[in-house]
Structure 1
Amino acid sequence: MFSKFHDMKSAFSKPNLKIASVFATVFMGVVTAASVFAANPPAAPAATTAAATPAAPAVAPAPAAAPEVIGKADLVKGEASYSTVCVACHAADGNSMIPANPKLAQQHPEYLFKQLQEFKNGKRNNAIMTGMVATLSGQDMKNIAAWLATKTNKPGQSKDKELIAMGEKIYRGGIADRQVPACAGCHSPNGAGIPSIYPRVSGQHADYTALQLNTFRDGSRKNSVAMTQVAAKMNDREIKAVSDYMAGLR
């Protein structure tokens, strides 16, 4: 009987030992996990980390460049700059031989200076001239303009005999029925212009003058309200006639 009881006790104890072993294993796993968690806490969320980091200070804008101070014109430097930048298109003495390129010799320096500035600041649009003046300072422009004013303008001549009479009539009397004023009123009877206000037009290439009147008319040249209004009222034949007439003015 004792033997049976002992066998039953043994049988009853074995499962209990197994259960105890399982519980012990689970308990040790929990303890181990807790230890690892304590040693390596989870990283803070990105938003919290970002919020805790102070923002970088704003960069102050660069101070504006001081305006250029332009002094008295220097003719020697003007000739040097002209020889480097302008001579290829406008000839050594400013009397261009290319009909599409204007003669600049004896032009009023105030007018030339204004045009060079406006090529650079975009008020007058010409891709070639914009590139040419890109490296010029205001002082360079003043020097060049002053030097060109000392050169002598070589007279040109009218070429279209059929249009001379029309050109003369427009230049000296305008076009009354369309309220086009006489060119001579601003550019003087002999085409010499008025210093610091209106440019010299005598002897200028007819092709160049006609091109400018057309660009004023179509709006691609916008740096003279007065000329835009005048050209808007003229047709192609009238523009050609007055341009040819001015080329022969002395």
Structure 2
Amino acid sequence: MRKLIAGVVLGFSLTASAFGAGDPEAGKASAAVCAGCHGQNGAAPVMPVYPKLSGLGETYLHNQLGLIQSGARKIPEMTGILTGKSDQDLQDMAAYFDQQAMPIGKADAALVERGRQLYRGGNLASGVAACAGCHSPNGSGNEPAGFPRLSGQHAEYVEKQLLAYREGERSSGGQSAIMMDIASRLTGAEIKAVANYVSGLH
């Protein structure tokens, strides 16, 4: 498990687009259309199952936009939104959103301790690696490797994505092998707990 993660991280970071290659000012105009679902600056989605885009990391955002545009990652609500945009447009949009502040949510106190244990220490009994290993102890992510910020993300969105990884519904991109393996070992209760924890993680 640890060898798999290390190998994918190394391989992905060597092939990922150079971070910091986008122009936030150029991306601002292209990103305006996103406000209808993701809110002003990508920080206040109209529904909690939609992700906050602000501060996620330019490398991660650029990769995901590319996957969505190509159809490799299927999101019905995004159909046609990225049509006609160049790779540089996507890079600029990613740079713009990455510079926006991610508001932190408030976690459910009843789930925090279980979520904290999973996030920081994983579950040795079931072979679940600690989330902090890739996404950092404070949830700020790992920009060079393309691992997104989790701190402040809506719990409902994180839960939805972990379930999608577990069911094999989200399998595109260089990081999917890691996430599908981890999610396959998580129970529904564990997914709910760790998703709640990261929503209020500082």
Residue 176 (structure 1) aligned to one of 124, 135, 139: 124
Q: How much has 1:164 moved relative to structure 2?
A: 1.4
**Residue 226 of structure 1 corresponds to which residue in structure 2?**
178
Contact residue 187 and residue 193 of structure 1 kept, 8 A: yes
Q: Partners in 1 of 2:44 and 2:187 — Cα distance?
A: 27
Cα distance in 1 for residues equivalent to 2:179 and 2:95: 25
What's 2:71 paired with? 122
Give the counterpart letter for 1:225 in structure 2: A
Q: Which residue type is aligned with residue 123 of structure 2?
A: I
Look up the match of 1:92. Answer: 40
Superposed displacement of residue 94, structure 1: 1.5
How many percent of aligned residue pairs carry the same amino acid? 40
1:140 matched to which residue of 2?
89
Gap runs ≥5 in structure 1: 1-71
Q: How many residues align structurally?
A: 177
Distance 2:128 2:80 in 1: 35
User: Is the CA contact 1:156–1:248 (under 8 Å) kept in the aligned structure 2?
Assistant: yes
Q: How does 1:158-197 map to 2 (within 5 A)?
A: 158-159=107-108, 161-197=109-145
Q: CA deviation at 1:76?
A: 2.4
Tell me the distance in 2 between the aligned counterparts of 1:238 and 1:115.
25
**TM-score (ref. length: structure 2):** 0.84
For structure 2, the 5+ residue unaligned runs are: 1-20
Residue 11 of structure 2 is matched in structure 1 by none
What amino acid is aligned across from residue 233 of structure 1 in structure 2? R
Please give the alpha-carbon distance, in whole angstroms, between the structure 2 residues aligned to 1:73 and 1:190: 25
Whole-angstrom CA distance in 2 between matches of 1:238 and 1:133 = 34
Question: What is the TM-score normalised by the length of structure 1?
Answer: 0.68
Within 5 Å, give how 1:60-79 maps onto structure 2: 73-79=22-28
Greater shift in the superposed pair: 232-241 or 93-102: 93-102
Aligned-residue Cα RMSD (Å) equals 1.2
Following TM superposition, by how much is the alpha carbon of 1:123 offset from its aligned partner in structure 2, in angstroms? 2.1
